[in-house]
Amino acid sequence: MADLNGKNVLIISTEFGTEQAEIETPRDFLLAAGASVTVATPDGGTIQTVISDRDPADQVSADTTIADVADSDFDALVVPGGTVNADTLRQDKDAVALARRFATAGKPIAAICHAPWLLVEAGLTIGKTLTSFPSLRSDLNNAGATWVDREVVADDTNGFTLITSRNPDDLDAFDSTLAETLEKAGAAAGSGR
């Protein structure tokens, strides 16, 4: 199990349409590894998750609004999928600006399933190799990325890391790659690099 004590991770979502496993599994994994996790939504409201984009599932409480978080308080950003969530989130100017600030600061962004739509909107895909739910392939290629069909991809080019996965079946690889990336960043910071 990863040791993420002292790491602060932000998860952003809208209040409806987030795939249940894609928000709960990373959150629970990070908490079990010792990280602090903050969940933010546009309005700070409770998230109604779904299964397979249509069946209502658990509700997840938000801690704050996206506009009220400072990227300097966090070590990584996690963006869960769900078609409605991802499509709505990419239209939120605060979410787009936040993703850009994480990238500019060199902090990892992990996006699963349809969530790479936010990366496209933020202009973060150019020159990157990514994966996603297969229906985003053309969107990502048209936005300057190279799309591949793998369970997880961690691309650390251009000064920041994007971690992407295709769907809930890839969550084990997604979570462990995020943890490895955070541990590696901690080791590099500890060695004075």
Residues marked active site are found at: 113-114
Mean pLDDT score across all residues of the chain: 95
SS3 191: coil
Residue 149 identity: D
What was the pLDDT predicted at 35? 98
The whole-angstrom separation of Cα 24 and Cα 155 is 24
Predicted confidence at residue 149, as pLDDT, reads 98
Q: How many CB atoms lie within 10 A of CB 5?
A: 10
Residue 144 near residue 115 (C-beta atoms within 8 A): no
Strands 55-60 and 109-112: unpaired
Domains of the chain, with CATH numbers?
8-185 (3.40.50.880)
Q: What's residue 2's pLDDT?
A: 84
What is the reported pLDDT for 126? Answer: 97
157-170: average pLDDT: 97
Q: What is the pLDDT of residues 113-125, one digit of tens each?
A: 999 999 999 999 9
Task: Give 85's contacts (C-beta < 8 A, 6+ positions apart).
Answer: 13, 14, 16, 17, 18, 19, 114, 115
Residue-wise pLDDT tens digits, 54-80: 999 999 999 999 999 999 999 999 999
Helices (H) and strands (E) in the chain, counts: 6, 12
Q: Is the pLDDT of residue 187 over 50?
A: yes
pLDDT at 186: 66
Residues 179 and 114: their CA atoms lie apart, in Å, by: 21
CA pair distance 68, 45, nearest whole angstrom? 13
Query: What's the pLDDT score for residue 188?
Result: 59
Q: Give residue 191's pLDDT.
A: 42
pLDDT at 97: 98
- Convert 51-88 to b/e letters by CB count within 10 Å (16 or more is b): eeeeeebeebebeeebeebebeebbbbbbbbbbbbbeb
Cβ atoms of 110 and 164 closer than 8 Å: yes
